[in-house]
Structure 1
Amino acid sequence: MTDSKTGADAGAAARSGRGGKRERLVEAAVQVLHQQGVEKTTLADIARAGDVPLGNVYYYFKTKDQLVEAALGAHCDRLTVLTARLDALPDPAGRLKALIDGWVEQRETAARFGCPFGTLATELDKRDDGLDEAAATVMRALLDWVERQFAELGRSDARALAVELVGAYQGMSVLTNTLRDPGLMADQGRRLQSWIDGLARP
């Protein structure tokens, strides 16, 4: 959801040795949690993906939940970077369409594993340890940004439109993953682009 950087890219960055061990572990956590889910993932899995000895993991993270929380923070940071880049575009319709383009670029990853953030948020929603609320905070940040774009288009129903757009993305991610059909996301992305164009017309 938050960027066009795939889990495979994150894993490659981790294995290349760029960044410190903590940063590599967080990037690896984002990748492995997306591919395997929270319950199936172990600290050993994350350590292996981050090319960090398992014993060193405990210096930075005492529990898997702490790594999950750090991964949520990484998703939030990526969203901040993404929206700042989109904000440099001259008009709100263009920003929204660029956001959709980024989603569609991830269609192969979505077909294999689902939305990088949506799948994690859905899994954490079944818990009541605070991680569910941390995930909700990231989702609200995306909704708030999308709402601002629709408000700039002069829409009085900006919040409802933001929910509709983000909901459409999450829905097409689920279908793309369930049917293993990246073309479905490409088709739906084009429909959303046309929808934005219609809303932007005076």
Structure 2
Amino acid sequence: MTNSADATSKAGKRERLAAAAAQVFHEQGVEKTTIADIARSAGVPVGNVYYYFKTKDQLVQAALGAHARSLRDLIAALERYERPQDRLKALVRGWVDQREVAAQSGCPTGTLAAELGKRADGLDREAAVGMSELIDWVERQFAAMDRGDAAELAVALIASYQGISLLTNAFHDPELMAVEGRRLERWIDSLAD
């Protein structure tokens, strides 16, 4: 393998481990997850994990990075909609499309942020960064709708989603999220009038 191909392979395996960590942490929680669980999910020997990540906290940081990349990809996809209210409604529909996942394990970002929020080691603040980026993007959409209360509306939308994710998970009822999604779309339309 050439140095370039070797570097690409290493980056690919590192990203695969980060994605596996994000998934397993979401499904099991950080505290219950072992390095072996992540290795198994990524399809690599346990020893390979330590080549890329020396500690479990480094895997948590990598999972947070994977969440951030997913969020940026989502925002880029939403930007294809012309009107800000259509972008927001597409965001809500995306959440509703993931209602089965929420029923099983909650919101991937929210559950990780909630778990890490109980720590005071810096990872709690890193987890909040992704939430902040999403709130900022939602605020820009409401501001583009000429809403003077864009910041408050952004927090309200994200809070509604996080709340319904929690209830959907607690009751293992995906229909709760579908109902809330329809309500949020009507709410967004009412704010655009």
TM-score computed with the length of structure 2 as normaliser: 0.93
Aligned alpha-carbon RMSD (Å): 1.1
Q: Equivalent of 2:68, from 59, 62, 76?
A: 76
3-state secondary structure, aligned to 1:117: helix
Larger radius of gyration: 2
Structure 2 counterpart of 1:38: 30
Work out whether 1:189 is the aligned partner of 2:181. yes
The C-alpha deviation readout for 1:81-126, integer Å capped at 9, x for no partner, is 1111111210000000000000000000000000011000000000
Task: Give the AA of the match of 1:168.
Answer: S
Work out whether 1:103 is the aligned partner of 2:95. yes
Deviation of 1:20 (Å): 2.7
Q: Equivalent of 2:112, from 102, 120, 137?
A: 120
| Greater per-residue helix proportion | 2
Task: Give the AA of the match of 1:146.
Answer: V
Work out whether 1:153 is the aligned partner of 2:172. no
Work out whether 1:198 is the aligned partner of 2:190. yes
Distance 1:124 1:198 in 2: 36
Structure 1 counterpart of 2:171: 179
Structure 1 counterpart of 2:39: 47
Distance 1:65 1:114 in 2: 21
Structure 2 counterpart of 1:135: 127
Distance 1:63 1:42 in 2: 11
Deviation of 1:23 (Å): 1.7
Task: Give the AA of the match of 1:122.
Answer: A
Task: Give the AA of the match of 1:174.
Answer: L
Distance 2:92 2:128 in 1: 21
Matched residues, percent identical? 64
Distance 1:102 1:116 in 2: 13
Task: Give the AA of the match of 1:150.
Answer: F
Q: Equivalent of 2:54, from 49, 62, 69?
A: 62
Work out whether 1:25 is the aligned partner of 2:27. no
> Where does the alignment leave 5 or more consecutive residues of structure 2 unmatched?
1-10
Task: Give the AA of the match of 1:198.
Answer: S
Distance 1:126 1:144 in 2: 23
The C-alpha deviation readout for 1:125-183, integer Å capped at 9, x for no partner, is 00011101001111100000000000000000000000000000000000000001000
Deviation of 1:73 (Å): 0.6
3-state secondary structure, aligned to 1:20: helix
Q: Which runs of 4+ in 1 moved over 4 A?
A: none
The count of corresponding residues between Structure 1 and Structure 2 is 184
Task: Give the AA of the match of 1:85.
Answer: A
TM-score computed with the length of structure 1 as normaliser: 0.89
